[in-house]
Amino acid sequence: MRESERSTYSVLFEPVNIGPVTAPNRFYQVPHCTGMGYRFPRTEAKLRGMKAEGGWGVVSTQETEIHASSDLTPANEGRLWDERDIPALRLMTEAVHEHGSLAAIQLVHNGLHSTNRYSREIPIAPSAAIVDQNDPVQAREMSVSDINTFKQWHRDAALRAKSAGFDIVYVYAGHDMSLLQHFLLQRHNHRSDQYGGSFTNRLRLFKEVIAETRDAVGDTCAVAVRLAVDELLGEEGLQHDGEARDIIEALAEEPDLWDVNLSDWSNDSQTSRFSEEGYQERYTSFVKSVTTKPVVGVGRYTSPDTMLRLVKSGHLDFIGAARPSIADPFLPKKIEEGRVEDIRECIGCNICITGDNTNVPMRCTQNPAVGEEWRRDWHPEYIRKLKAPEDYLVIGGGPSGLEAARALVQRGAQVILAEASEQWGGRVTLESQLPGLAVWSRVRDWRLHQLQQQANAQLYLQSPLTAEDVLSYQIPNVVLATGSSWRRDGVGRANRRPIAQLVPERVLTPDDLMKQGVDAIKHEGPVAVFDDDRFYLASVLAEQLVIAGYDVIYVTPSPIAAAWTEQTLEQERIQKRLIDLNVKLLLSHNVASMSDDSLSVSCTYTGRVTELSVATLVLVTSRTSNDTLWQDLSAKQEHWKAAGINRVDRIGDCYSPGLIATAVQAGFAYAQNVDATEAPLVRREDISLL
């Protein structure tokens, strides 16, 4: 069957010419941020090299600043201001070339998207305008002399990219983050000279830069154009059936490759809660009809059958990916080797994006090794065998326990995995049953599948264990992954001590709603959801309640709904959905007290109290670890040796509640380090020299 699969998908492994270079296959890791960039070049290079090892035929950088007037500090993007940046980028090209893949660089000047906090250069733009960050900074209008200078900057950066070993050099006009895109857009370009006004004039600079880039490096490097074909802004922005199409028709044969997507970033990288696989297809389907050059596009593709359809139908020449290549750097090799069932599919949660948005190396819910390839020498597919395999008892079948068991089995251990409930997955299973989160079940399903293939893994459901049980089994290594529970007392960010006046029988937690559904609600009347967690869950529960017919009031101490989802690019969509669902939003308010039929909330700024008619209060605040078994075993520690127990460890939420990604990485880290004689030393680039 595997040989048949290889034959089925063989078209995906055909070489494709891109101008003067040839990609070994149709798998194309498009430019994406990592939170590493110029500050962490070794970490960056190792991550990109891992994708080449995994079979991605083209591997790209993130956006790479070409000049100090495009300074995105504190973001850790790429940087190619001058020759001093070449060695760091060469680390990446060498890592990619080692595995026979092409290296691409996305050159960018961010125009009015740059605040230049480090360089302190005055931002530049087609027309004078305030920058689109929150800084009280304005960009000055570029003169024709400035435009010529910018063209020289871009040309010089392209030459430096060639010197660094890149095979593909981008001319970038996407995500509303590019000076070149700003010149194209009427909302940003108010000029009346040869670079403004008419479509031809607004297109002029883009066309000139493509030509000059080709003239500078086109003898050995392919020139790619990345263009947003729709901004989902109607007539105010680029539209796939309007000026975006006109741009591609006018420049159809100018670049060697078209990389097409949506703008801005929140549209391009929509989460699975708000979009399905292939959601960009309706916007990009026209491109191949107006150019003979190869086209790459994205859509959070993880299905080989979908990839095959896109190529065979003539929609795309390359399957572009950012997030799927993070979740599984070895996705192409698994398809090529007939191991489709082993693909670690992206869940579209956008935890990876939070790395760039918080200026730290990225992480991934599905792939615990991402960002740690250089720092901890972790590999997403391979893990060294245990020096002396022993037996392990992993208690808890949630994300942390599943990952710990899977990785321990891969290392050669004999593992018993015991789960107290009737289903695997822990919080992943519960949350994946909520509106929009079904794809998250992939976290559970992939790990279960891997475990079920192995003879050295024994899996038991409905197996609650006591300390006496654990001692009686005489298994030398015990891992507690028993998860956590949401608090009922209101303790969180805004309330560091329990809220004094609550009515316990009218208070629910997310656990109640996830386990019992709306049957957990025992009193008729409006439901208030208090969000002091400030991530996604409270808004999802509010949606669940509205769907069930309840009037919902969403209360949060934050000035916006689901505040931390700004980091996952979801916040605006979440707040809009709540408004569309007629959820009453009470922002910047804290819970003060409660009675049988009302809830008192206080303004976080003035302290002014408002009385709400509320029958049930759902507290989404913080969690406590389910560590009763740990406490019981700790109390019997003097009996461990006699029971043959060498160690008992807590991992994941049982140790400290956090993200699902944190729990998965905790399981992986435990398995990686279980036989280490001392705590592994994490490499640091800030104390090392290139």
As given in the structure block, the two tokens for residue 570 are 């979801």
DSSP assignment string, 15-35: -EEETTEEESSSEEE-----S
Element (H, E) at 139: strand 138-141
Using only C-alpha atoms, what is the Rg of the chain?
27
* Secondary structure (3-state) at 643: coil
Burial of 525 per CB tally in 10 Å (0-12, 13-18, 19+):
middle
C-alpha 319/C-alpha 310 separation (Å) is: 8
Element (H, E) at 199: helix 199-217
At 138, give phi and psi (nearest 5°). -115, 145
- Out of 33, 349, 352, 364, the active site residue is 33
- The yes-or-no answer on residue 346 being catalytic is no
- Out of 154, 175, 182, 315, the active site residue is 175
C-alpha 463/C-alpha 459 separation (Å) is: 10
- The yes-or-no answer on residue 175 being catalytic is yes
- Out of 85, 132, 167, 268, the active site residue is 268
- The yes-or-no answer on residue 686 being catalytic is no
Q: How far is CA 333 from the centre of its chain?
A: 22
In sequence order, the 6+-apart residues with CB closer than 8 A to the CB of 82 are 160
Pick the closest to residue 168 from 109, 214, 108 (CA basis): 214
- 3-state percent breakdown (helix, strand, coil) of the chain, nearest 5: 35, 20, 45
As given in the structure block, the two tokens for residue 251 are 């420049």
Q: Which residue's structure tokens are 């250069």?
A: 121
β-pairing, 507-508 vs 552-556, is unpaired
β-partners of residue 296 are 259, 318
As given in the structure block, the two tokens for residue 617 are 């209060």
C-alpha 409/C-alpha 447 separation (Å) is: 11
Contact indicator for 366, 323 with CB cutoff of 8 Å: no
At 582, give phi and psi (nearest 5°). 65, 30
C-alpha 364/C-alpha 82 separation (Å) is: 32
- The yes-or-no answer on residue 268 being catalytic is yes
As given in the structure block, the two tokens for residue 86 are 């070449």
Alpha carbon distances (Å) from 21 to 18, 214, 292: 5, 13, 16
Contact indicator for 13, 318 with CB cutoff of 8 Å: no
C-alpha 366/C-alpha 375 separation (Å) is: 19
In sequence order, the 6+-apart residues with CB closer than 8 A to the CB of 463 are 418, 419, 420
Contact indicator for 616, 603 with CB cutoff of 8 Å: no
Contact indicator for 59, 32 with CB cutoff of 8 Å: no
- Out of 9, 28, 38, 172, the active site residue is 172
Q: Which residues are identified as catalytic?
A: 33, 172, 175, 268
